Amino acid sequence: MCGIVGYIGQKDTKKFLIDGLKELEYRGYDSAGIALLGCDSIEVFKAVGKLVNLEDKLNNNSTLNIQNSTFSTGIGHTRWATHGKPTEINAHPHLGNYSFVVHNGIIENYKELKTSLQANGVEFLSQTDTEVIVHLFEKHFEQTNDSAQAFKNTIKELHGAYAILLITKSEQNKIFFAKSGSPMIIGKNSDEMFFASSDAPLIGYANEVIYLEDGDFGEVTQDNISFYNEKKQIWNKLQTSKQLAQKNGFRFFMEKEIYEQSDVASDCMLGRIKDNGTNFDEIENSFFDNIFDIKICACGTSYHAGMVGSYLIERLGKMRCSIEIASEFRYKEPLLLKNTLFVVISQSGETADTLEALKMAKNAGLKTLAVCNVDNSSITRLADVTLLTRAGIEKGVASTKAFSTQTLVLWMLALYIGTKNKALSDTLIQNELHTLRAIPKALKIESIMHEKCKRLSKRYLHGHGFFFIGRDVFYPLALEGALKLKEISYLHAEGYPAGEMKHGPIALADPELFTIALMPQNLLYDKIKSNVEELSARDSTICSISALPFELADDFIQINTTNHYMLEFFEMLVALQLLSQEISIRLGNDVDMPRNLAKSVTVE
Ligand code: AGP
């Protein structure tokens, strides 16, 4: 999740940009940069790593006498790598011959645009999708000699998600902006204009703001905004709490990240869902040659996502797939065959057990693939191929959006393998693609769902434990639900395959035993229903999560009626995350930083 700032006015441009980027650090980044325009000169500064590296460059740059030059216009950016490694070259702003651009989001058609521009002699410096924007703009400006028209023509050619700021020597007192799919806010006071990806950088500067909507684009000068689209300008009062702003108004980072899942799911799938299958730019055509099976290895929530992936890779990829807990795998003296693709899953990319398991596979000569959220991490640097989940920084220790995007990547990978093996009918492929496209909507949280979880949570603050039960992919989902509850409420909970309850655990059934039953309508419903009936007959307290009312349930969280079990999967996931969060809040726990836990377990 990149961060963007922009400024136009007569005060200290550099200060606003750097302070603004600092307010956006919580969004996570791996490089940063600013561009300054004024007095007929345009300057850019970029640095890898933390913002202090960029500040050092600015402060040590005496040649430009940057400290007190009056650059009236500037843009800045913190980058979370999605296309291209975290390097200075790939850091934003990206430069044309006389223009700079910063961008948050993903340009889905950047490859076609880049090829066309290169065919016309344009030379690219970076590996990023973003760079096409500034070269496109200058191409159109050469043709029209009109910056506004050039910007309009540029935006028309872009497909995907973007929040863009562009400055150019051809229009020294303007910033061009465009918003579609990624957040952008315009702020103003009497004689300055500001841009930012969220409220925080504007607090203390702007008096009023406009929260841009998808399709908004135009230009600003120091004291005026011109929208190129039909737009009623409604100025809002700006909130004053930076702390609240970093959480976008939510109570916890975990809550913000649960609500972000819909948007990051869209980012995760951008450019990877095609008309007749799924695609990963990162995977060479020959990568799966001589691969006959897959072994997935991970820890915690990532392990649960891997379990879901193992079901889908066998069902859709028609390839054998096993799953291992990394801390077990490391010491079991595993048999590793060269025809096995070794897949590691990690949000942080730094989990010690997962990293060591990856090293074991590499040393055994296996091909390796990482599903990870942090580029340039230890795991991504070691794996042969990395598929980034593009979830943006996850600050809550209890993993939420990492799990949903990991599951999406593995689902798309399963389809990729199955399509490549010509093992799937067109009808099935189209049904899966249609369902994938519907997932962001399934992850959109309806207030009635959140309110229900809030009300229910008061009933589940005690008891001698919880069983979360499910079948097939709802078994790892049950494990994930149990882990979420354990992590942030400190109540004992177990995830269990529903069909296994009668092999012992049902002995625990009594009114104090809470069973959260995942009952998908579209997958083995009758089987799970009979498992739950067995528990209800022994007086266990049942909370059913289902599209179908279940008369034996003591409590019921209703999800939407759908025609695919994976839509039910993601709706149930949100219910489990919210229920755990609301129980934790009632118990007065620190939802974002639960006791005894670390966000990244870099030790054994
Ligand atoms: C998830 O809620 C936990 N915080 C934890 O289980 C985590 O998933 C595990 O430590 C693996 O971390 P990773 O995904 O960064 O490798």
Residue 597's pLDDT is what? 81
Give just the sign of the alpha carbon dihedral 309, 297, 253, 28. Answer: negative
- Atom 5 of ligand 1: nearest residue by CA position: 300
- Atom 16 of ligand 1: nearest residue by CA position: 346
Q: How far apart are CA 475 and CA 495, in angstroms?
A: 7
Note whether 527 and 498 are within 8 A (CB): yes
Q: How far is the CA of 372 from the centre of ligand 1 (A)?
A: 11
541 lines ligand 1 (CB under 6 A): no
Residue 152's pLDDT is what? 98
Q: How far apart are CA 195 and CA 202, in angstroms?
A: 8
Strand boundaries in 24-98, DSSP class E: 31-38, 41-48, 73-79, 94-95
User: Environment class of residue 144 by beta-carbon count within 10 Å: exposed (0-12), middle (13-18) or buried (19+)?
Assistant: middle
CA atoms within 13 A on the CB side of 231: 20
Q: How far is the CA of 600 from the centre of ligand 1 (A)?
A: 7
Residues of the chain predicted below pLDDT 50 = none
Instruction: Extract the tokens encoding 198.
Output: 């969220």
Question: Which strands form 41-48's sheet, in the order they lie side by side?
Answer: 41-48, 31-38, 73-79, 3-8, 192-196, 185-189, 208-211, 236-237
Residue 62's pLDDT is what? 65
Residue 39's pLDDT is what? 74
For 469, the enclosing helix (H) or strand (E) is strand 466-470
116 lines ligand 1 (CB under 6 A): no
546 lines ligand 1 (CB under 6 A): no
Single-letter amino acid code for the residue at 527: K
Q: How far is the CA of 593 from the centre of ligand 1 (A)?
A: 13
Asked if 321 is an active-site residue, the reply is: no
Neighbours of 365 (CB within 10 A): 9
Question: Which strands form 514-519's sheet, in the order they lie side by side?
Answer: 493-497, 466-470, 514-519, 541-546, 555-558
Single-letter amino acid code for the residue at 434: H
The pLDDT tens digits for 334-366 are 999 999 999 999 999 999 999 999 999 999 999
Q: How far is the CA of 408 from the centre of ligand 1 (A)?
A: 17
DSSP 3-state assignment of 120? coil
User: For residue 301, which atom of ligand 1 is closest to its CA?
Assistant: 8
All domains in the chain, ordered by first residue: 3-247 (3.60.20.10), 253-442 (3.40.50.10490), 447-567+576-586 (3.40.50.10490)
Q: How far is the CA of 598 from the centre of ligand 1 (A)?
A: 9
CB neighbour list of residue 220: distance below 8 Å, 6 or more residues apart: 8, 174, 175, 177, 186, 193, 226
**557, β-bridge pairs:** 545
Asked if 2 is an active-site residue, the reply is: yes
The pLDDT tens digits for 393-438 are 898 999 999 999 999 999 999 999 999 999 999 999 999 999 999 9
Residue 68's pLDDT is what? 54
Residue 59's pLDDT is what? 86
Q: How far apart are CA 401 and CA 414, in angstroms?
A: 20
CB neighbour list of residue 214: distance below 8 Å, 6 or more residues apart: 179, 180, 181
299 lines ligand 1 (CB under 6 A): yes
Q: Which of 393, 601, 604 to mutate to test the pocket of ligand 1 (most atoms within 8 A of CB)?
A: 601
Instruction: Go through the chain and tell me how many residues it has.
Output: 604
Q: How far apart are CA 290 and CA 386, in angstroms?
A: 19
Neighbours of 445 (CB within 10 A): 18
397 lines ligand 1 (CB under 6 A): yes
Residue 311's pLDDT is what? 98
Note whether 521 and 546 are within 8 A (CB): yes
Q: How far apart are CA 509 and CA 54, in angstroms?
A: 60
User: For residue 487, which atom of ligand 1 is closest to its CA?
Assistant: 2
User: For residue 599, which atom of ligand 1 is closest to its CA?
Assistant: 4
